[in-house]
Amino acid sequence: MLKTNPGATILYDLRSSWCVKEAIAAAGGVPLMCKVGHGLIKRQMREMGALFAGELSSHYYFTNFYTTDNGDLAMLAILSLLVHEKKTMSELVAPLLRYSHSPEINSKVKDVDEKLAEIEKRYGSGKIIKLDGLTVEFDDWWFNVRPSQTEPLLRLNVEAKTKEQMDQRVEELLAIIRS
């Protein structure tokens, strides 16, 4: 998409891997982190004039299709890429698999705000982003913990440069969240 629209803004949800932001920038786009949820993403696409947006949950939004989620267009774009690049899907994604990312982990909590404050205090030396819940970035790992909109849950996502570090940080954060 950026080959035909160089310099366009592309939105990615805040749970996405660092490789998404890096790939957008490397392709000449302007990567912009956004909140999770189709209503929020569609609004932000219109406000920012974004060409495209993608969610970690495999929802893809196209500005030329009225900023709606369209899996068919996403599939056609991937098929076109496979044909033009003459590579398998595994070959296309291999360069993107450079970080270790946890699944989204849900934990019931009594007081969401109290837990978020506790986590922010503990990890306040990192780069704090409060776009949706709490995201904290360090040089070699990051996490997002955000409240569910419908249940008394915190949702945790962690990414690190190594699987060992990711596993350690998940364990460390879950100990705080679940205490």
Separation between Cα atoms, residue 128 and residue 120, nearest integer Å = 8
pLDDT for residue 65: 80
CATH superfamily ID and name for 100-177: Alpha-D-phosphohexomutase, C-terminal domain (3.30.310.50)
pLDDT digits (tens, 9 = 90+) for 29-65: 999 999 998 889 999 999 999 999 999 889 999 998 8
Running DSSP on this structure, what letter comes out for residue 17?
Answer: -
Assign domain 9-96 to a CATH class: alpha beta
Could you tell me how far CA 103 lies from the centroid of its own chain?
12
What residue spans define the domains of the chain?
Answer: 9-96, 100-177
In whole angstroms, how far apart are CA 55 and each of 18, 29, 38, 85, 91? 13, 17, 8, 24, 22
Cβ proximity of 59 and 69 under 8 Å: yes
Give pTM, 2 decimals.
0.91
